[in-house]
Structure 1
Amino acid sequence: MKTITIIEDGDRARLIYVRTDGDVTVFDRDRKFRFRTDISGAETTCQILERVVPAIVQAETARLKIEALADRCRTGWCPGYPDEIDPYIPQRTLRRARFGIDLIRYPEDDEFYSPATILMGIEMGTGPSTSLVGKSDGTECVTGEILWIDAAREWAVCEDAFWWTPAEE
């Protein structure tokens, strides 16, 4: 793992954790986001940064668009088909979706009540999994934290993507 720290004005620090498999975590004030990128062949810090920085910009753009979509859904708007979603927002399909709790984010605490914060299920028909926990097509997958979910549970806006959750046929 490589840790890169960027310090601005002596009081603000941004941390970038880059694992050898391309799993990148960015910490910036009260925000944290993760994504995968290709860092094969990069050995020095500058080479790693050269590969990671464009991916950070792309991930940050997608994150902002996902948050805007969640805000739009909170006003009552509901997408009816995939073309209504911004193309920068990844769309995935999750079969047999069920609620779960990310216990790493919410450690055991008697005073803290943790509602369901993620969805778990089988990622289907979307090519290689984008989940940081899931594997390839057709295997168990875990979404990012739920930002907004349809009352009928047909779709969910999560921090990592827009997830279609069709009912089982």
Structure 2
Amino acid sequence: MLSIDEITRIEDRYCQSGEQSLGEAFRELLHRWECGERDRETALRLLFLSWYASAEPDWLTGLTALPDAAAVFRRLSEHLDEELESDDEYHFVAGYMATLFPWCCGDEEEWTKRGRKHLTRVKSAPWIGAPMIFSGRGAYGHYFAHIVKQGWAGTLPKQ
């Protein structure tokens, strides 16, 4: 089983040179998860790649021949809703993904609502605007550092 650092190096090939390496990273993260490695980093990165597999074309990412990515997203979400109930980062990333492309998560209407619910929980998170918390965290970190740098507050639901 590969370590998170080894998986980060696989993902970095995609982030740094556009290599179609995310399918390999997904399979390694899923293997970790299925072998009982239920740590926060494995979960967040697997959640992201399961969503990204539906959000971006496979010829770009290398996320081909995956098990049902939306089903993986839903199973992880159910687990993380309990495990990371008070985790602002989780609520931010889950909410952002679910509101941006809810059909990548499952039923579009359901996931739009769930995404908004997640995002309302992070309006006052102390790390808002701090992309460095995503540094060194593979494609997940690269993606969300960019989102935070761009100013994500516009994605929050109206009260």
Normalised by the length of structure 2, the TM-score is: 0.26
Larger radius of gyration: 1
Which structure has greater helix proportion?
A: 2
Q: Which protein, 1 or 2, shows the higher relative CO under an 8 Å CA cutoff with sep ≥ 6?
A: 2
